[in-house]
Amino acid sequence: MDFNYLVIEGNIGAGKTSLARKIAADTNSKLILEQFAENPFLPKFYKEPDRYAFPVELAFLADRYQQLKTEIAPRDLFQTKAVSDYYFVKSLIFSKNTLKDDEYKLYKQLFDIIQQQLPLPELYVYLHVNTGNLMKNIQKRGRDYETEIKEEYLSQIQDGYFEFIKSRSDMTFVVLDMNNIDFMANPDDYRKVKNAIFEAEYKPGMNTVLL
């Protein structure tokens, strides 16, 4: 099956960006990558989360909206295929775990206003990796600002993704179990992942695939 707008999502360290790059190249699609490194509050947030949670989430919200509004405007969806390594609702998932209740309430009001202006992906692929393996991946890539990430935080984010996936019957989700897959080092593993995305038919709601 072919898609005009495909989202590859996952927790921190799940491999979503690497997979999005490969699929975009193979399908001659526009690649949309989250510009997280450009958020000036991110390193500060990992060191002092209580102090910098609100500005870091507002910066992400603004950046993600501006990028997606520009890259996947509805008029372009039928002209250019796009593969993204994030979906706009990621802002809500992360902010729910980082903001205080009153901050989250205000943040969600802003989110609800602007999300209506963005199109839905035809397929949302979630790469599921257990938190132990996520921690290993994060340590392996060695980003200084990620050294403070705790396994408990990753678990909370993971729960947030599944809560979102289970709540949206109007979207089509494919949850790929990636714990025994190394699609970067093993071409056979990559073919399994690609086939799971493009060669199967899925119903709206959550579809789970064990690779």
The class (CATH top level) of 5-210 is: alpha beta
Structure tokens belonging to residue 117: 């202006």
Residue 92 has pLDDT above 80, yes or no: yes
Q: In a 3-state reduction of DSSP, which class is residue 71?
A: helix
Check residue 78 and give its pLDDT.
Answer: 55
Q: Which of 34-38, 84-88, 183-187 has the lowest mean pLDDT?
A: 34-38
Rounded Cα–Cα distance for residues 114 and 1 (Å): 30
Partners of 209 in beta bridges: 176
| For helices 90-98 and 101-115, angle between their N-to-C axes, nearest 10 degrees | 170
Q: Does the pLDDT of residue 179 top 80, yes or no?
A: yes
Q: Identify which of 5, 57, 10, 14 has the alpha carbon closest to the alpha carbon of residue 36.
A: 57
Domains of the chain, by residue range, sit at 5-210
Please choose, from the candidates 79, 69, 62, 46, the residue with its C-alpha nearest in 3D space to the C-alpha of residue 153.
46
Note the pLDDT of residue 79: 57
Distances from the Cα of 115 to the Cα of 61, 109, 184, angstroms: 10, 10, 33
In this prediction, residue 70 has a pLDDT band, given cuts at 50, 70 and 90, of confident
What pLDDT was estimated at residue 37? 66
Q: Which residue has the higher pLDDT, 35 or 31?
A: 31
Instruction: State residue 207's pLDDT score.
Output: 97
Residue among 16, 80, 28, 26 nearest 195 (CA): 26
Residue 45 pLDDT grade (very low, low, confident, very high; cuts 50, 70, 90)? confident
Buried b (16+ CB within 10 A) or exposed e, 44-71: ebbeeeeebbbebbbbbbebbbebbeeb
The pLDDT of residue 142 is 80
Q: Quick one: which H or E segment has residue 127?
A: strand 123-128
Per-residue pLDDT averaged across 129-155, rounded?
89
97-111: average pLDDT? 94
pLDDT at site 2: 82
pLDDT of residue 121: 94
Is the Cα dihedral 109, 110, 114, 120 positive or negative? negative
pLDDT of residue 74 exceeding 80, the answer is no
Q: Is the pLDDT of residue 77 over 60?
A: no
